Structure 1
Amino acid sequence: MPIRADRLIQALLLLQGRAHITAAELAAELEVSVPTARRDLEALAMSGVPIYPSRGRGGGWRLIGGARTDLTGLTQGEVSSLLVALSQSGAATPERIAAIRKLIRAVPEPFREGAQRVAATTVREAPWGATETDAVPPAVAELQRAIAGGFRVELRYDGASAGAAFEAVPVMVGSRGARWYLIAAPVIAETDVADGAALRTYRADRILDVRVLSSRGSVAAGFDHSRVWSEMVERVEEMRGSVRAVVGVEPWAVKALRDRFGVQARMLADAPDGEGRVRMEISAHRVDALAEQLAGWTGAAEVIEPAAVRVALRQLGERIVSRYRDAGHGPQESS
């Protein structure tokens, strides 16, 4: 079971409220298995939280003395809100901001900077269609752990050359609709600082593997996370384009088209229409580009509207027929 940032913070809060806690007690509180609880405690220790295990009767995990802090004023409602907000949301409601600030002040000093980084670099937004599921790709938790610790990661990505591994500094993680993204960059040569001129966006569900490295990685002072996220959203919006076509799709081909067009595809209806087809909206930046992208799906999808895209498809077909009109009828080659 992947380690989640919200669960780690809940474990930290429990540690701060008790003299010690065993893995079994933590498992019962978090409703996870004992091995999972033990891994969570070990992850806290690895991230810099000053906790240690003690064995024997009355043993368990304890915060090193002086690390315990006063949580007075942090309500249960604020804690519940924070557990979601810190790892999955960039929404800025007054209650949520107050909760984040209180927890950051309350957590032990070694963990405070990491908590601030995670809070500042994780965004969750609703546009680009309804969120289909609350599930977060497993890679996101590892990326957040790297961000909290200020480490680089080694990634293997579907789409990179043969899935080859490469190093990068994870700068931000966030979701737009149902899809999560990573913004990352290589370091500037002979430094540990991410190259702000080489930022790239990756879909979290296409990350094949992520490994947190011991090499340090950070962003330059004054790095504007809000601006970078907004620019990423704008770029993806442009990729989706202002030209949209309503397409009738054979039910068996719906998943294939959604996989192919990604955020450029949107369901208009879940149930087939009177002709047995499901309606989708496909977007692109130009009419001719949209026609070219849809041409290969003629056997499974028909553009219903607008007329401009239908005309572009017909013209594309006429050009193909003209070019290959004599294919197969040329002079026979001598043996």
Structure 2
Amino acid sequence: MRADRLVAILLLLQQREQVTAAEVARELEVSERTARRDLDALGMAGVPVYSVQGRGGGWRLVGGARTDLSGLTAGEARALFLVAGPASAVTPTVKAALRKLVHALPEPLRAQAETASSSLVTDPQRWGSSRVEPRPPHFLDELQDAVIRGVQVRLGYVDRDGTATGRTVHPLGVVAKGPSWYLVAGTEAGRRTFRIDRVSSVGPTADPVHRPGDFDLARSWREIADEVERRRTPVEAYARCAPHGIGVLRLGFGTRLDVVGATTDGRVEVVIRGNDERKLAGELAGLVDYLEVTGPAGVLDHLAAIGTVLVERYGPERQNDHRVRRNPRRR
């Protein structure tokens, strides 16, 4: 059974006096058969859940909907909320129940559990065309622990040029971006992002993290990722696209495509980003059935040059030469 479903069912049982397999199936978007199997598995795993047979029956927690959760250890509570945080695919209702469940935890576990639920963001979109398989870096657990406990760490770090540095940082959250892992942290120079596979050492301190009151990891990461994408793709091409071609553009360019709005002739105005005018022109050249590129001048010049080469190589005269070579009797 998937861990996120287990947590979601526990939250539903905690929130309501009784649930049916049909309700669980509807909330978690699974079949009733899967919901019954998951509920049975909870009981077999030792969770105090039992079924009520007959009309109006369902599943309940022993002791009622406010079952005491004081038996959870600190590690178990943190793990529970890590799974059910923003990275998990649970419904808005369950996410709301998660906040309510925080108040059912014993006081010593409450703060860390709440922090754990917002300490991790998963961004499945890879940078560029990287196909590296994900592998959790060495210091991931230590850094996530520092985020949850809210303590500063002395961080050893090796940058992309191989320069080793050491600094004290305020860990604010961990992000999984495709196969890469990042630490978002406060520093003396402001908020910074560190690739965790470049971290060479982690030394927790006893000093508390200074966490901005309005800090939201998901929002902060969106801002960081958008800025990185802008730096990676500084060239913008402007174009008008036939409505039926928008899907093709989304498939080919992903986050590099921005849809601006409709034009007066029924087409759609778009902006497509790339890291080089010549390369971007090469990507756009095969989309003439959908796209009219309007600028900038550098991209238009490259498109014209590509068109000239294509005509020279594959134009009518060239095609006649090919036919003659293939059928020498026609000479």
What is the TM-score of this pair, normalised by structure 2?
Answer: 0.48
Q: How does the TM-score come out when normalised to structure 1?
A: 0.48
| Pair member with larger Rg | 2
